Amino acid sequence: MELKRVVVTGLGAITPLGNDVRAYWDGLINGVSGAGPITKFDAENFKTQFACEVKGFEVADFLERKASRKMDLFAQYAVVCSDEAIKDAGLLEEGAANPDRVGVIWGSGIGGFQTFMNEALNFHKSDGIPRFSPFFIPMIISDIAAGHISMRHGYRGPNFCTVSACASGTNAMIDAFNYIRLGKADVMVTGGSEAAVTEGGIGGFNALKALSTRNDDPTTASRPFDSTRDGFVLGEGGGAIILEDYDHAVARGATIYCEMVGGGMSADAHHITAPHPEGLGALNVMKAALDDAAMHPSEVDYVNVHGTSTPLGDIAETKAIQGVFGDHAYDLNISSTKSMTGHLLGAAGAIEGIACILAIKNGIIPPTINFEHSDDQLDQKLDFTFNKAKKRNVRAALSNTFGFGGHNASVLFREFL
């Protein structure tokens, strides 16, 4: 069976750097930090009092009040950023696609976290009297974001959710990619969203000792590959990507950003939160993505790393990159855009995939900001694109995402020729 070519025809984003793709990209290439004091709740008694929050998001500017009240914030982010991507792809035009051949695969690691907390607290305050919202369950389940997107646009193709912690959004993209290249859909709306900047989110990750506690200077707290890194910064938002069969896109005259050419998945099989110390799972997943794309490592110019700014994770991923790319690792540009956006958990792969797509389109590598101190455990000859964006022709870009539980996923994008 001959596999279909898959191209990218639309993008949408809501991020700590801005609430559309243009603002997000401007923030990335200008090295803007999205971190600041938490405004969503009183964080005074928490070990971490800052996060990368979405700013200035008013759901009433995008959705009808009746509809938005039935959605947790993570689903609101999903619907709004997918609306941008669908419009960007020209799919709102009559007859642009057969709705029976358009699907939605969406990722979220946690789903309706704030709704769950609110309902649990209300039950606790009610002295055990069960008064729950009729929308409680539909608002918390992770798959509901894909459901809302499909219902809003009438898409009747494949529709489900991927849940693999921080790899969720990337797993969603891989599944969407495979549905198209196997000929089971013409167009897929894919990506991920998360809204975990809550008391439970911050408190839970603090209990794991996973978050930075640099409360005196939050804008520089996310500092991948810096020797003083002390944990990740929690972020929120969403990213949407329209994947499309090449022939279908050409037939309707769609604008093509680039081509998606491969995806890989692996497991660390090591620890519930820590990476394999030698980066074995990370090495395997990058090799799997390259094999899937039938590409040689030397064809890749940019790796958007998982790069969470954790002491163990950054070292393990760097070892894996050197294991996969060998001497070509020194010709790569490597960067962690989490230094600016924080870690969006299940949405990380979606917005970082967009960063790779735009790096290819615009010939610019986003930087890894906040670097000050070299880490002797990392090879200083590698180009981590510290502190300033770099112009470069990007033929192909690889995006890595690794989740708690040892879930690893990588995707490859290539310039469209």
Closest residue by Cα to residue 80 from 366, 362, 399, 347: 347
Q: 247 Cβ partners below 8 Å, 6+ apart?
A: 4, 5
Catalytic residue among 166, 248, 258, 407: 166
Catalytic residue among 148, 153, 343, 407: 343
- Determine whether 52 is an active site residue: no
- Determine whether 356 is an active site residue: no
| 113-125 vs 199-207: helix crossing angle, rounded to 10 | 100
Backbone φ and ψ of 409, nearest 5°? -145, 140
Catalytic residue among 81, 306, 356, 407: 306
- Determine whether 124 is an active site residue: no
Q: Which residues are catalytic?
A: 166, 306, 343
